[in-house]
A = this chain, B = another copy of it.
Amino acid sequence: MRLSTVEFLLSEGWEAAVRNGLVTLAAISNTAVALLILGSLVLFGINVEHMAALQAQAAVITIELEEDADSGEVEKMLWANPLVGGVQFVSKEEALRRTAESVGLDAELLQIDTGDEPLFANPLPDSFIVRTTDPQDIPQVAREAGQIKGVAMVRYAQQLTEKLLALAQGIRISGVVVGMLMAVATLMVISTTIRLTIYARRQEIRIMQLVGATNWFIRVPFIIEGILDGLAGGAVAAAILLPIYSYVQDYVGKNLQFVDLIYSPEALLIFGLGLVLCGILFGAAGSLMGLHRYVRPA
């Protein structure tokens, strides 16, 4: 293609966007709204997933030892598992004291030493509290810890942990599914809108064909226009969404201590650029899909 042609096609796309003021506005508006919804859902999903993961992070495994177990050996074995992230020893005395305290009993009372034989045998075993690097691995680590010699019983807040893990997992999966569906929905709205803008100018396309313009010569300005619309729509969506998100993040951080929204200027910037990129891609794809019907071999 000659330079003048390239130049012509570019300026055509821009001119069309400008001279079609109202149609361009409509396309940008629909694109912006669609991307706004998509972006909000993505932000929401990311944060919910993040929170569920955080909660699961707090989950631990309690490993009770047999009466005569070698705690050092068990600890070594525990550390041997690469999934393990932390191990903390809790002696039987310590365990009793914690238990007693938790129900309001005086721990001293239970430990009165009456000589050779204690008044009351401490029924609690020595134990380890184990954390995993990834809460995901808790069930597996627990299972494997059960195999270690000297381990009497392995416990973890099975129900809670599994709930949280399932939740986080569910959010991740449904997030991807919903995200993809939303992306499709967004693309549909944008492409339908652009199709309508093209439909509104089908007569012009027809005239261009009559004068001998090739299909690509007709398409390129429309695609450029679609890209410009998408770019503008994405920028508008980002310009609306990001400040609102910052504000919400700030507000939530101050008023609901237990909810902690992700916030990092760089991440938000990337997110905003992502929206614009989506706009551009969807705009280009939308024009191509829209042109399909009106620009084809006569």
Contact = CB atoms under 8 A, between A and B. Distances in A.
A189 interface: yes
A103 B109 contact: no
A132 interface: no
A118 to B, nearest CB: 13
Interface stretch (A22-30, A68-76, A219-227): A22-30
- Enumerate the 6 nearest inter-chain pairs by beta-carbon distance, A residue then B residue, closest first: A200-B200, A196-B196, A99-B103, A26-B192, A33-B185, A30-B192
Contact of A106 (B123, B163, B170): B123
Interface of A: 22-23, 26, 29-30, 33-34, 36-37, 99, 102-106, 109, 120, 123-124, 163, 166, 170, 182, 185, 188-189, 192-193, 195-197, 199-200, 256, 258, 293
A298 B221 CA distance: 33
- Total copies of this chain within the assembly: 2
A239 to B, nearest CB: 15
Contacts of A256: 166, 170
B36 A199 contact: no
A33 B186 CA distance: 8
24 contacts: A22-B293, A26-B199, A30-B192, A30-B193, A33-B185, A33-B188, A33-B189, A37-B182, A37-B185, A99-B103, A102-B103, A103-B124, A104-B123, A104-B124, A105-B123, A106-B123, A163-B258, A166-B256, A192-B193, A193-B193, A193-B196, A196-B196, A196-B197, A200-B200
